Structure 1
């Protein structure tokens, strides 16, 4: 007799109520719990007092033990005798005092995205962005540029989410074959910094709008790379692109509609010298659109943020690059759901 697979609602409930677990982790990041525990093991009362929590000891234990059950904390003892510590991954990635910290993207998720995503149904019905700007494509940045704190938070978030991908790219792609690189929409110059740290002979240009220049120059100076990285103020859609053999873009193309994507790729192709290269670093969706869940969710995030932006598959990128004139395209897996789509002139 053929055995039937049991059907149960566990996965439906896990995903449907997933915001419970998400908010539990985001709150821990917001309150700097993992940074506190980066100093060493702490008891429940120590955590409660140092974080200024006013709820009952029982509810503090509930919160901490939920993080234990999710695999984000270690615990010895229980209740009054409990002592908590970071797991290896939260200690590496969520302690603000470590250079590997990626909590910026989670801070932004807690402060912005959590509320924006509650309006997904409105975005699907209207096709309109649901962020602070609630206006056209990329208008979010005009709002961020008016608030230095929010802009810094956004830059930290982008650096955090891209750090692993940038390091993977500089280890996998042979930048030593080229003398110059320009990162278009380079924000705080994090990609240029990673390239220069790994490849000693390349000169980089960080190309972005004026409001991010102080943030970029500050970060470049932190790594003593002022002689090798120049921040150039400009708008890659309106202004002439700087001369370079390699153009890179990290999480930029997905914020645009298809016609603007094609216009920008055309512009890059025309400016590149022979044998020049264009690299787009994004959550490239698998061609069958079945596996890269994060890439698909990011595409929905572009609806919420920009209205008409969307993430894309390698087949999409190949179509646009070929139409622009590029001779060869390839995809280079980086970390997790992220890849580099590479086009060669």
Structure 2
């Protein structure tokens, strides 16, 4: 967003400063399931959308809402105002239709329902260093709350699936699994990563490992993708329990939840579960070493302040330092999709 001209301009300042306007427009459309309706109907007029979504705003404000989505590239439009017909763009048709397995809107739903409000407390988080979500003011930590509330947990699991499914598919296809036989995903949630690895690597026997509260969701995923001959769900607590042995151990958006001490503890447990020649893979928004390009990774790290207080995202140099400290022989970085990479450590 740096000004590349020699002339001063407030444009980028205002674009970022008003960014929550654009964010809330998209999040509202996802909340209304607008893109799912359009995927089903093909195209709709503003009047039809107003009736379908039961909106009571003026026609002019509805046009503003829909045309803003069009200007962002999230909708296609044929006609203008009363004569306009709206339909999904290529991206929203694939990724924001709830009826498709490629739906990534779970994360956007959680951003709307939870994080949008909590990020209003960022100043307090930076001043105090304390968590700013449901756990604020001495309430129980977020993960305790999540696993007590089935609806909250389901929303969180859907969010994690949404934000990572593209990366899981990329890892399953980009990483060379041919030298390995067993795979363990620690904190595997709904079992999507294990399922993707199995679908793309017939040689792999996979285990998704998480708390008992999500075991049913993982089993549903395994059944849905018809990979029960390759994937199993095992319940366990990655803090309290040793990890099942495997040739490849992964953690997707797990390490960044915790402080450095707990990061090292989890990586040590992964190391202990691996044979010589085994591989540990952390899938995260790894921040570039110069800390100037991966803005999403930096913002995700601030989100960890909001959500956990002392969790943070990290650079590959950080990961390499921790891996060396634990005893891994070498490391590498594999780009996945967007701002996400796989930080890999070899035993």
- Superposition TM-score tier, normalisation by shorter sequence: over 0.9
Q: CA deviation at 1:302?
A: 0.3
- Structure 2 counterpart of 1:240: 242
Against the structure 1 CA distance between its residues 243 and 137, is the aligned structure 2 distance closer, same or farther, given a 3 Å change threshold? farther
Contact 1:108 1:157 in 2 (8 A): yes
Matched, 1:44 2:37: no
- Structure 2 counterpart of 1:166: 168
Structure 2 CA distance for aligned equivalents of residues 77 and 309 of structure 1: 48
Structure 1 CA distance for aligned equivalents of residues 230 and 345 of structure 2: 25
Contact 1:248 1:281 in 2 (8 A): yes
Contact 2:38 2:44 in 1 (8 A): yes
Q: CA deviation at 1:138?
A: 9.4
Moved more, 114-123 or 75-84: 75-84
- Structure 2 counterpart of 1:328: 330
Contact 1:138 1:305 in 2 (8 A): no
What SS class does the counterpart of residue 136 from structure 2 fall into? coil
- Structure 2 counterpart of 1:19: 20
Matched, 1:260 2:262: yes
Against the structure 1 CA distance between its residues 168 and 137, is the aligned structure 2 distance closer, same or farther, given a 3 Å change threshold? farther
In the alignment, which of 174, 195, 209 is matched to residue 207 of structure 1?
A: 209
- Structure 2 counterpart of 1:116: 118
The two structures have a TM-score, normalised by structure 1, of: 0.97
What SS class does the counterpart of residue 328 from structure 2 fall into? coil
- Structure 2 counterpart of 1:276: 278
Contact 2:242 2:269 in 1 (8 A): no
In the alignment, which of 171, 174, 177 is matched to residue 175 of structure 1?
A: 177
- Structure 2 counterpart of 1:90: 92
- Structure 2 counterpart of 1:30: 31
Q: CA deviation at 1:335?
A: 0.5
What SS class does the counterpart of residue 38 from structure 1 fall into? helix
Contact 1:136 1:307 in 2 (8 A): no
Q: CA deviation at 1:263?
A: 1.6
Q: CA deviation at 1:267?
A: 2.1
Structure 2 CA distance for aligned equivalents of residues 270 and 96 of structure 1: 40
- Structure 2 counterpart of 1:60: 62
Structure 2 CA distance for aligned equivalents of residues 36 and 173 of structure 1: 36
Segments of 5+ residues of structure 2 without an aligned counterpart are: none
Against the structure 1 CA distance between its residues 54 and 100, is the aligned structure 2 distance closer, same or farther, given a 3 Å change threshold? same
Structure 1 CA distance for aligned equivalents of residues 139 and 152 of structure 2: 19
Segments of 5+ residues of structure 1 without an aligned counterpart are: none
Against the structure 1 CA distance between its residues 135 and 331, is the aligned structure 2 distance closer, same or farther, given a 3 Å change threshold? farther
Write out aligned runs for 1:210-221 (5 A): 210-221=212-223
The two structures have a TM-score, normalised by structure 2, of: 0.96
Divergent runs of 4+, >3 A: 135-138
